[in-house]
Structure 1
Amino acid sequence: MAQSGDQGVRIGLSVVVMTLKDRQAVVLTTQAENGDTLLPFGPFDPARDRTFERALRDFVTAQTGFRLGFVEQLYTFGDAGRAVPRAAPEGDRPRDVSIGYLALTPDSAEGQTHDARWRAVFDVFPWEDRRRENAHLTALVTDGLTAWAGDDDRRLARIRALFALTPEHRWNEERVLERYELLYEARLVAEAWRDAGLSPPAVLAPGLVMGSDHRRILATGLGRLRSKLKYRPVLFDLMPGLFTLSTLQAAAEAVSGLTLHKQNFRRGVERTGLVEPTGQTSSATGGRPAELFRFKGVDPQTGAAPGLSLPAQR
């Protein structure tokens, strides 16, 4: 990793690579030598790498066999007291800083290296999927949080707002990181116990545990993508060249974790002018052939490219 003079800072690059597979939002993962599930991660070498992004693209291809398309920087992660990517060996402990990125691809083929695989995002954050009731999940998350809060009104207010536990609170799908951080603070995720050097209890909030601070980085990436859906046409970076409106709605639902109102969603798509019919149809659904559309792209005159509204069913 890059090391910064007397500061002893090492720089690494982590990336959330997301796509859609079998109508699920999935994230590309690798496996550490100790078996931990990780995001693709690599060092930045200032003597060799011209830019962070170029280094990122090169090591992702080397680790997974994938070539990245859309990429944007997320955040810099380096909090003391939390596990960081590829921690320094004993006797060599410079401060590790990881720069996180979000990358989108329409390619859901399996990774070309043995330890690269796609994992469902909601296997990592099952509480982020609001499309169906899950009483067991609700008990583990909300009851565990309520027990942790006790009589602390501030904690109770945060829980109610973030998990929309009362009618006056609306679920905000963009607050993925805040919900994960609350569970971490309450020590309801295994990473909190690991970072404190303690053995976790038998019962924790559900979800795939990830090595280092990678579940936190993934939470940041999912929240960013959900936010961008509404003001940029990023959903089309996950779509094939031709698609039906039902497939487009399923993609929006897979990312947002919401059940969307069919007619309102379609009217919203039509108002944006982002898609155009191709005159072709698809019978892949097994029912009546559905019309195929394509993404029109950014308006060359104005550069306008709005996002999509997400009209959730009530």
Structure 2
Amino acid sequence: MSQSGVMIEIDLNAVIVSVDQSTPYVLTVPHASRQGEQGLPYGPFDPLQHRTFEIGLRSFVEMQTALKLGHVEQLYTFGDRGRHMVSPEAKPHVVSVGYLALTRQTPESDEILAAQGAKWRSWYDFFPWEDWRQGKPALLEEAMFPLLRDYCDQPHGPDMPSGTISHRDRFQLSFGAGSGVWDEERALDRYEMLYGAGLTYEARRDGRPEAKHCDEIPPFGESMTFDHRRILATALSRLRAKLKYRPVVFELMPPEFTLTDLQRTVEAISGQHLHKQNFRRLVEGAHLVEPTGRLSTATGGRPAALYQFRRDILTERPTLGLRVGRH
């Protein structure tokens, strides 16, 4: 309980990511009280049972998915009032602590997950506008941008802090509208602007006044329970940024892989199509991989050389990653 007498509950949320067959997946679980709605594995922190947040998180994930996590890192703490609907009888103010974990799918783990009711879902089901691998998504110009421009033409509310940038400037920065550049790392900024403009199902569900006409607009991606889609957007932004300065992509790769497999995984995370020769020069220049001397025949065509992550590089320099470009 806080000094003001308000009850506070701390929820621990896990964004568990894998990439398989060029699709980036996030692990979801059904929400017990909202039929058909998916969310992230989560549960309340109990200091009497859990010595640390991370211990509590691992306990909830294993209980809800039967999955034992490897490395996890804390994403962000979400404590804003009004970030999601709170029922009148719900007294505690919920503070959500998000974590990111990277893993690889296996047939054995998939069977266990299915038995628990957990599902791997493409994160582009929730953020379809973030996938530029086939070019600029049509829904941006055809459906989303006209509604956002209408929102930008509205005046700021009376409680808008002075010095806050205008809606239109936020639109241009977040979405690369006009002469701007699409920055794949701004996934969270884009989702938050859509929510603030009342253009998501969550905004309507949470009673946002901007969403009063939300029934008349097309759905922009699937919704998630509570503020879990915002937490997922945070993870997407973090992972896309981290890809450029840490070798996190190799936590999603098998021990041996082809350069084509590696490129497809990087493309899946970044949401960008990468030029094959440029990507290979980038990988070679970063000295992140080394050939194993073996070949893969899984492609069905010419055998492809197999590579592995060169772990010695972790001690050679502090900043290492794949600096893919921007649109």
The question of a shared fold, defined as TM-score above 0.5 by the shorter chain, is answered with yes
Which stretch has the larger CA shift, 3-12 or 173-182? Answer: 3-12
Please state if 1:238 is matched with 2:239. Answer: no
Task: Give the aligned partner of residue 138 of structure 1.
Answer: 141
Equivalent residue of 1:29, what SS? Answer: strand
Task: Give the aligned partner of residue 118 of structure 2.
Answer: 116
**Post-superposition shift, 1:122?**
0.7
1:230-252 per-position Cα deviation (integer Å, ceiling 9, x unaligned): 00000001111111001100000
Match of 1:259 among 273, 281, 289: 273
**1:63 & 1:295 partners in 2: Cα distance?**
32
Please state if 1:201 is matched with 2:215. Answer: yes
**1:82 & 1:309 partners in 2: Cα distance?**
33
1:38-76 per-position Cα deviation (integer Å, ceiling 9, x unaligned): 000011110111111111112101101211112100111
Q: Residue 10 of structure 2 contacts residue 96 of structure 2 at CA under 8 Å; is this kept in 1?
A: yes
Q: Residue 75 of structure 1 contacts residue 101 of structure 1 at CA under 8 Å; is this kept in 2?
A: yes
Please state if 1:10 is matched with 2:9. Answer: yes
Q: How does 1:122-201 map to 2 (within 5 A)?
A: 122-132=124-134, 133-150=136-153, 154-167=166-179, 169-196=180-207, 200-201=214-215
Q: Residue 131 of structure 2 contacts residue 137 of structure 2 at CA under 8 Å; is this kept in 1?
A: no
Please state if 1:308 is matched with 2:322. Answer: yes
Task: Give the aligned partner of residue 296 of structure 1.
Answer: 310
> Quick one: structure 1 residues 64 and 4, their matched pair in 2 at CA, closer, same or farther if it must change by over 3 Å?
farther
More helix by share: 2
**1:15 & 1:114 partners in 2: Cα distance?**
16
Q: Residue 297 of structure 1 contacts residue 305 of structure 1 at CA under 8 Å; is this kept in 2?
A: no
Runs of 4+ in 1 over 6 A off after TM superposition: none
Task: Give the aligned partner of residue 106 of structure 1.
Answer: 104
Equivalent residue of 1:15, what SS? Answer: strand
**RMSD of aligned residue pairs (Cα, Å):** 2.2
Equivalent residue of 2:185, what SS? Answer: coil
Q: Residue 275 of structure 1 contacts residue 293 of structure 1 at CA under 8 Å; is this kept in 2?
A: yes
Q: Residue 190 of structure 1 contacts residue 204 of structure 1 at CA under 8 Å; is this kept in 2?
A: no
Match of 2:93 among 68, 89, 95: 95
Gaps (5+ residues) in structure 2? 156-164
**Post-superposition shift, 1:294?**
0.7
**2:295 & 2:147 partners in 1: Cα distance?**
49
Q: Residue 18 of structure 1 contacts residue 28 of structure 1 at CA under 8 Å; is this kept in 2?
A: yes
**Post-superposition shift, 1:125?**
0.3
- The count of aligned residue pairs is 307
Report the residue type matching 1:296 in the other structure: R
Q: Residue 288 of structure 2 contacts residue 313 of structure 2 at CA under 8 Å; is this kept in 1?
A: no
Under a length normalisation based on structure 2, what TM-score does the superposition of the two structures give? 0.87
Q: Residue 9 of structure 2 contacts residue 93 of structure 2 at CA under 8 Å; is this kept in 1?
A: yes
Report the residue type matching 2:83 in the other structure: R
Task: Give the aligned partner of residue 222 of structure 1.
Answer: 236
**2:147 & 2:43 partners in 1: Cα distance?**
36
1:236-283 per-position Cα deviation (integer Å, ceiling 9, x unaligned): 011111110011000000000011121111111112221110111112
**Post-superposition shift, 1:156?**
2.2
Q: Residue 261 of structure 1 contacts residue 311 of structure 1 at CA under 8 Å; is this kept in 2?
A: no
Q: Residue 265 of structure 1 contacts residue 309 of structure 1 at CA under 8 Å; is this kept in 2?
A: no
Task: Give the aligned partner of residue 247 of structure 1.
Answer: 261
1:186-244 per-position Cα deviation (integer Å, ceiling 9, x unaligned): 11111111111677414234201111000000000000000000000000011111110
Q: Residue 164 of structure 1 contacts residue 171 of structure 1 at CA under 8 Å; is this kept in 2?
A: yes
**1:289 & 1:32 partners in 2: Cα distance?**
45
**2:199 & 2:314 partners in 1: Cα distance?**
49
Report the residue type matching 2:175 in the other structure: F
Please state if 1:282 is matched with 2:296. Answer: yes
Q: Residue 18 of structure 2 contacts residue 25 of structure 2 at CA under 8 Å; is this kept in 1?
A: yes
Which stretch has the larger CA shift, 138-147 or 285-294? Answer: 138-147
Matched-pair identity in %: 45
> Quick one: structure 1 residues 240 and 305, their matched pair in 2 at CA, closer, same or farther if it must change by over 3 Å?
farther
Task: Give the aligned partner of residue 50 of structure 2.
Answer: 49
1:276-303 per-position Cα deviation (integer Å, ceiling 9, x unaligned): 1011111212211110111122536446
Equivalent residue of 2:83, what SS? Answer: coil
Q: Residue 26 of structure 2 contacts residue 123 of structure 2 at CA under 8 Å; is this kept in 1?
A: yes
**Post-superposition shift, 1:92?**
4.6
1:96-118 per-position Cα deviation (integer Å, ceiling 9, x unaligned): 11100111002254215332000
